[in-house]
């Protein structure tokens, strides 16, 4: 009986020792995580970030998205609406990430549309035709000019910043994905720009 009890005691000791070693090994595994900047609240498109818009959490490496935006983030502009807790990535902020997926040489071209209410119907990814209104004739007796001319066609919308409290008299600002020739044409088109939404 004494030997049997000794064997049972030894077996129990070995089992306890194994459990302790297993728990110790689990605690000794390094925690693989990464600190990530996230939206501290719901953010509208076009918002210029301040420190109160930004929070930091630690996420498992497997949950960290690609293209994390580099600090500092304060002062940068949100390209599209963001939900609270969403990580800041290069595709969510105005900059090179906003043009990801577009052809090489594409630039972000800010354009002011005269009809602000029409511009608010747009969403990133929409395609529009941009038209320039003809300037008034200097001579009242001069023949009438064409009412508008086409400046760019089927051009993608990158961002539609929200309206300001003090609306700009020239209309609403939008950001388009233009090639360099389109960007030059848009810059030279003058202030009286209008648009139509296309099905391209």
Under the banding of pLDDT at 50, 70 and 90, the label for residue 4 is: low
Question: Which of 64-78, 105-119, 138-152 has the weakest average pLDDT?
Answer: 138-152
In this prediction the pTM is: 0.53
pLDDT the model gives residue 28: 46
**Spatial contact of 166 and 116, defined as CB atoms under 8 Å apart:** no
**Spatial contact of 127 and 155, defined as CB atoms under 8 Å apart:** yes
Domains of the chain: 33-97 (3.90.1210.10), 101-197 (no CATH)
Under the banding of pLDDT at 50, 70 and 90, the label for residue 54 is: very high
Segment 67-95 shows an average pLDDT of 84
**Spatial contact of 185 and 109, defined as CB atoms under 8 Å apart:** no
Listing DSSP states for the chain in one string gives -HHHHHHHHHHHHHHHHHHHHHHHHHHHS---EEEEEEESS-B-TTPBP-GGGEEEEEEEGGGPPSSBPPSP-TT-BBSS-B-TTPBPBGGGBSSGGGGTTSPTT-EEEEEEES-HHHHTT--TT-EEEEEEEPPPPSSTTSPPPPSEEEEEEEEEEEE-PPPPSS--TT-EEEEEEE-HHHHHHHHHS-S-EEEEE---
N-to-C CA span, the chain:
90
CA-CA distance, 58 to 37, in Å (whole number)? 9
pLDDT the model gives residue 29: 46
- pLDDT tens figures, 126-175: 899 999 876 555 545 445 555 778 999 999 988 887 666 556 677 888 88
Under the banding of pLDDT at 50, 70 and 90, the label for residue 88 is: very high
- pLDDT tens figures, 171-196: 888 889 899 899 999 988 877 788 88
CA-CA distance, 145 to 139, in Å (whole number)? 12
174's CB contacts (< 8 A; 6+ apart) are 110, 111, 112, 113, 119, 122, 157, 159, 160, 161
């Amino acid at each position: 009986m004494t030997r049997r009890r000794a064997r049972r005691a030894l077996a129990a000791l070995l089992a306890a020792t194994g459990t302790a070693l297993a728990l110790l090994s689990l605690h000794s595994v390094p925690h693989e995580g990464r600190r990530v900047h996230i939206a501290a609240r719901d953010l509208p498109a076009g918002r210029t970030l301040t420190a109160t818009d930004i929070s930091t959490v630690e996420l498992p490496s497997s949950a960290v998205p690609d293209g994390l935006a580099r600090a500092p983030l304060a002062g940068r502009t949100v390209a599209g609406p963001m939900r609270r807790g969403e990580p800041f990535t290069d595709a969510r902020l105005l900059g090179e990430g906003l043009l990801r997926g577009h052809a090489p040489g594409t630039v972000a071209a800010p354009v002011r549309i005269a009809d602000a209410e029409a511009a608010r119907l747009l969403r990133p990814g929409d395609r529009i035709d941009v038209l320039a209104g003809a300037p008034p004739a200097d001579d009242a007796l001069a023949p009438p000019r064409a009412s508008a001319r086409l400046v760019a066609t089927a051009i993608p919308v990158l961002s539609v910043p929200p309206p300001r409290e003090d609306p700009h008299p020239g209309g609403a600002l939008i950001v388009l994905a233009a090639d360099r020739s389109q960007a030059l044409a848009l810059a030279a088109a003058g202030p009286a720009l209008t648009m139509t939404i296309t099905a391209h």
